[in-house]
Structure 1
Amino acid sequence: MKEIKAIINAYDAKSPETKAALATVVRVEGSSYRRTGARMLIMDNGTWVGGISGGCLEGDALKRARLAISQAKPTLITYDTTQDDAYQIGVGLGCNGVIDVLISPIDADAPKVVELLRSCLTANRQTHVLLTVTQASDEVDGLSTGDMFRYNGPDSLAQLADETAIASATEKIERYIQKGKSAPVEVLFADGRVVELFVEVMPPIPHVVLLGQQYDVYPLVRILNELGWQSTVVANPQKVTQALFGAANALVAPADFDTISVDGQTAFVLMAHDFKTDKANLPRALATDAPFVGVLGPRVRTERMLSELAEEGTPIAETDRMHAPIGLDIGATSPEEIALSIVAEIRAVLSGRSGSFLRLRQAPIHERD
């Protein structure tokens, strides 16, 4: 979402006479620095925002975008970094992947793609599903390469006007929604026609709720801002500095804890540095549906909390959602390093990963179909 926000801001800031195109990674086969859904906004004046690779494909995409803009026609480009071809962009990079990039000129009079992306930024926390036509037969009325529309169920596919195609598309789209994964799909019509769609599943950005007001909250909020995540600080407003008001997305008084929105991308971090406060907050955080509840401090401190809560009639059942001590074991000592270890563990848990060394991972870094 951070990249989309930067693209929207750049589009809004460009001069009216400047033409633009949007490059989107719509398929990845094998290894690639960026995955499906990576984007860059390319202007005809040679500037761009975002990225589709680690910097190796952007220059060629710029030239291709200028051509697409001049022809007012979307184009699908395939970059193959697996072949030993001196004329292939990306050779020698060692990525060993095939990347499809859709480059679509943006209609200045009706920038539908921009507005659809903007709506994903401004809507309440929810999973957005966007469908982009990457290839369409000329015989399919009403669908053209580059078209983008929102998916809200089978009724969103009425324009396919073919029961077989709607059923085929719905089954595949719903499967990727369940996985929380973006991917290309092929839609088959009853008469043999084919439309290829890029299914983009965009869950809400991670939301980290920080229960504390000490100085080590600040580096954590700064890292969350750099990532483009959402941060909420639960603290007495009279005990925090004005700088924290401006840095965090929201500041909530402890009495208003129940007003915090919680979903499958929410993580709680208990870091009050006050035993009684953290002990009171632990059962409140675990009573929510948040998949991650972390407690700062040594294990013995949390064990004491659990023991006292049980004695007081509030036993805490064992759960994988609780992470205490919080953070990955990276040898962190400073507040900044501790913040890094905390955010890394949250990212790992929300991604369903262990947070171990990649060199020990037997499977590819990214899941493949």
Structure 2
Amino acid sequence: MDNIHQIFKESPTEGDVLATVIHVNGSAYRKEGTTMLIKQVGPTIGVLSGGCLEEDIKYRAEKLVKGQSQSFLYNLKSEDDLGWGQGSGCNGEIRVLLESIDSTFQTHLEKVNEQLLQGRSVLTIKKLSEDYEVMGYAFIVDGDNYWGKALNIGSNVELKEVTTGIHYSKELSGYCYFQWFHPKPRLFIYGAGADGVPLCDFAHKTGYHVTVADWREALCSKVRFPRADHLIIGFPHEVLPTVLLPQDHIVIMTHHFERDKEILQYVIDRPFKYIGIIGSNRRTMRLLEGQSVPPNVYTPVGLSIGAEGPEEIAISVMAQLIAVKQRGVPESGKQADCETTFYDR
């Protein structure tokens, strides 16, 4: 993921510099849309490379005038070049856009964060000069609601199919950098057992908004789940109708057959992005009582890597979640029955 949610958490302020990878030619450590915040006071948030560019980017950021933007091209191709690539041989070039934040840009970024927290995606458009500096920008929600500076977005601008990167816009008469900001993906873990603890931690570290629910108050606590964004105490019929959204990712891991069955019966016919079930295929077939397994149900949960124990299983689940998020389905498809993934109950 990019670092935009971490950046917003640190509250970009006037005088800070936002650095963004706006174009990649060949292979590189990060892709278009990756962001980094160089703060006037405090640590830098995020990275744009494997460590070879950050110091130079910080040096250039310090020289920017407030409200100014500049763009720099870094060649990381050569294996024997001891310049930007430090001999890394990444076989690519990346263009980095630096934007010094003034009071207007700060206000506009705060509004972007407000929209993301409300579950809305935001598209930013930055019109570029021949030197790839920003001539004007706009942030757009739902095609109609937009705000920005020195860029007039007409109703004829086609936005639905645009991807993050530099594209020519006929309507805006020039090349523009487009970037989508999406709300944090949401992970709902039902089951506050020992295996839920590392899954919550890893999901938090990889950018998910994590909710943990359980009917056992002694298990579902901030002491056990310090990185959970939300904790809910309650039985499935009390909790599920009130918190789940269609775009949610759900992992069922109560280790209680009847509770798992109740949860699965609620979610099975709803279009959630991902439904993972702890336990073997045989156990899931018993839970489903002969129903076919829908394509958004992953059982046993996690990629088949022979994982054992809570930490390894959490890693396998996160790998599968990332694959689903990035590609729609894991490259290897749903895994075969794996006896090391917990047990039948």
C-alpha displacement of 1:90: 2.5
The residue that corresponds to 1:363 in the other structure is none
| Inter-partner Cα distance in structure 1 for 2:65 and 2:269 | 53
The answer to whether the aligner puts 1:260 opposite 2:243 as a matched pair is yes
Residues 49/298 of structure 1: CA separation in 2 closer, same or farther (3 Å cut):
same
Question: Aligned to 1:293, what secondary structure does the other structure show?
Answer: strand
The answer to whether the aligner puts 1:92 opposite 2:87 as a matched pair is yes
Deviations 1:140-199 (A, max 9, x none): xxx953635335426759976697xx64xx33x3212xxxx412211235xxx8432221
The answer to whether the aligner puts 1:204 opposite 2:183 as a matched pair is yes
Aligned residues between the structures = 327
Residues 83/112 of structure 1: CA separation in 2 closer, same or farther (3 Å cut):
farther
Structure 1, 106-115 or 28-37: larger mean CA deviation: 106-115
Structure 2 gap ranges (5+): 334-345
Deviations 1:193-242 (A, max 9, x none): 84322211123322111121322111111111211211122211524253
Q: RMSD across aligned C-alpha pairs, in angstroms?
A: 3.3
Structure 1, 201-210 or 149-158: larger mean CA deviation: 149-158
What does 1:75-86 correspond to in 2, within 5 Å? 75-82=70-77
The residue that corresponds to 1:313 in the other structure is none
The residue that corresponds to 1:366 in the other structure is none
| Inter-partner Cα distance in structure 1 for 2:105 and 2:296 | 46
Deviations 1:284-320 (A, max 9, x none): 111322021111111111122223xx5xxxxx34421
Corresponding letter in the other structure for 2:314? A
Residues 47/301 of structure 1: CA separation in 2 closer, same or farther (3 Å cut):
closer
Q: In the alignment, which of 275, 280, 283 is matched to residue 257 of structure 2?
A: 275
% identical aligned pairs: 28
Structure 1, 296-305 or 74-83: larger mean CA deviation: 74-83
| Inter-partner Cα distance in structure 2 for 1:263 and 1:150 | 23
Q: In the alignment, which of 305, 308, 325 is matched to residue 287 of structure 2?
A: 305
TM-score under structure 2 length normalisation: 0.82
What does 1:326-337 correspond to in 2, within 5 Å? 326-337=301-312
| Inter-partner Cα distance in structure 2 for 1:25 and 1:133 | 15
Question: Aligned to 2:270, what secondary structure does the other structure show?
Answer: coil
Whether contact under 8 Å (2:17, 2:39) holds in the other structure is yes
Question: Aligned to 2:45, what secondary structure does the other structure show?
Answer: strand
Residues 128/155 of structure 1: CA separation in 2 closer, same or farther (3 Å cut):
closer
Whether contact under 8 Å (1:104, 1:146) holds in the other structure is no
Q: In the alignment, which of 127, 149, 160 is matched to residue 174 of structure 1?
A: 160
Question: Aligned to 2:244, what secondary structure does the other structure show?
Answer: coil
TM-score under structure 1 length normalisation: 0.77
Structure 1 gap ranges (5+): 138-142, 311-315, 358-369
| Inter-partner Cα distance in structure 2 for 1:47 and 1:210 | 32
C-alpha displacement of 1:50: 1.4
